Amino acid sequence: MRLGAIGWRRTGMAFAILAALAGLSLFFLVSRFLDPDALWKIVNGKCVPEQQQGTARHHCAEVDLSKGIDRGFAVLKDNAPTKPYNYLLIPTKRITGIEDAALMAPDAENYFEHAWAARSYLDAILKRNLDWNMVALAVNSAKDRSQNQLHIHVGCVRSDIRSALKDNEARLSQGWSPLTLPASDPPYVALKLMRDNLSGFNPFQALANGIPEARAAMGLQTIVVVGAVFRDESRGFYILSRHRQEGAPAHGEDLIDPACQLAKQTP
């Protein structure tokens, strides 16, 4: 009886500890959801100081301050339980989101270029090299995000979206054209970028310069960048966008598959 009682007490303590840890995790998740500056506090308050002080990196997978803090960026694992294979690319400069005028400056840092390079973290977590056309980057509109610090989602494109883009390749050009996606998704506009890098091509500015209505209301836009392998086997990108309308959010992150089934099903 004595050993049984001790066992029950230990079991009870174990459950109590697990419950406390679960409650702590839930607290942080809820805090992040409720606090629109949570990402900024992590990057600015924890990741950047760790990099500057040369201490062990506990919060971000990468912090690059090689061009200075105003042009730097951090790569952070998305800790949402429903996004096991997603990363975030976040500037180390205070930039609220897609509507921020800093992104329109002639010398603006090309965060999408850095986000595309960050796909290597997906390779590492999935333990395979993803095909070029398996990766997608997304920025949501100002009204369809929870955080007021620019963050580019880095993840796997949905398989049906990849198929739709491949089917529409002949209809798309280097200018913005209408794009119909699967029935569950609102229509987008898209263009083909027929080059294998984003150096010198800033998707924020390409949207603002190519669609006057978008420039006038950048906060209502979403941008998605998807790797492409064209019919001639050359590599490039599809750049997608849509304007937020009542009842139809501009939430490009929806085109990302958080479970990355495409990568798991393709050898």
58 with 72, same domain?
yes
* Amino acid found at 209: N
Clarify whether residues 218 and 149 are in a common domain.
yes
pLDDT of the residue at 250: 97
The count of structural domains within the chain is 2
Q: Is the domain of 22 the same as that of 49? A: no
Domain coverage including residue 5: 1-34
Q: Which DSSP letter does residue 175 get? A: S
Mean per-residue pLDDT, 47-52: 97
- Mean per-residue pLDDT, 182-211: 96
Phi, psi (degrees; rounded to nearest 5) at 178:
-60, 145
User: What six digits make up the tokens of 9?
Assistant: 């007490």
14 and 146 share one domain? no
Give 134-182 pLDDT, tens digit per residue: 999 999 999 999 999 999 999 999 999 999 999 999 999 999 999 999 9
* H-only helix segments in 89-239: 111-117, 120-126, 159-167, 203-210, 212-216
C-alpha dist (Å) from residue 124 to 61, 118, 179, 266: 11, 11, 32, 16
Distance CA 70, CA 180 (A): 38
In tens, the pLDDT along 64-99 reads 999 999 999 999 999 999 999 999 999 999 999 999
Q: How confident is the model at residue 264 (pLDDT cuts 50, 70, 90)?
A: confident
pTM for the whole thing?
A: 0.87
3-state secondary structure of 28: helix
**Residues 139 and 150 reside in one and the same domain:** yes
- Is the same domain home to 16 and 97? no
Enter the DSSP assignment of 142: G
**Same structural domain for residues 126 and 23?**
no
Positive or negative torsion for Cα 224, 81, 99, 113 = negative
Q: Distance between CA 111 and CA 152 in Å, rounded?
A: 8
Q: Which of 266, 257, 261 is nearest to 83 (CA)?
A: 257
Task: With CA atoms as reference, report the closest residue to 161 among 191, 128, 129, 134.
Answer: 134
CA distance 207 to 241: 8
Same domain, 60 and 16: no
Does residue 28 sit in the same domain as residue 43? no
User: In angstroms, rounded to a whole number, what is the distance separating the alpha carbons of residues 198 and 244?
Assistant: 25
Please give the Cα distance from 93 to 72 (Å, whole number). 7
pLDDT-above-70 percentage for the chain? 87
Q: Are residues 24 and 106 in the same domain?
A: no
For the chain, where are the alpha helices, taking DSSP H only? 2-34, 38-42, 48-53, 111-117, 120-126, 159-167, 203-210, 212-216, 261-265
Same domain, yes or no: 215 and 139: yes
Same domain? For 257 and 144 the reply is yes
Q: Indicate which CATH number applies to the domain containing 168.
A: 3.30.428.30
Q: Identify the pLDDT of residue 43.
A: 98
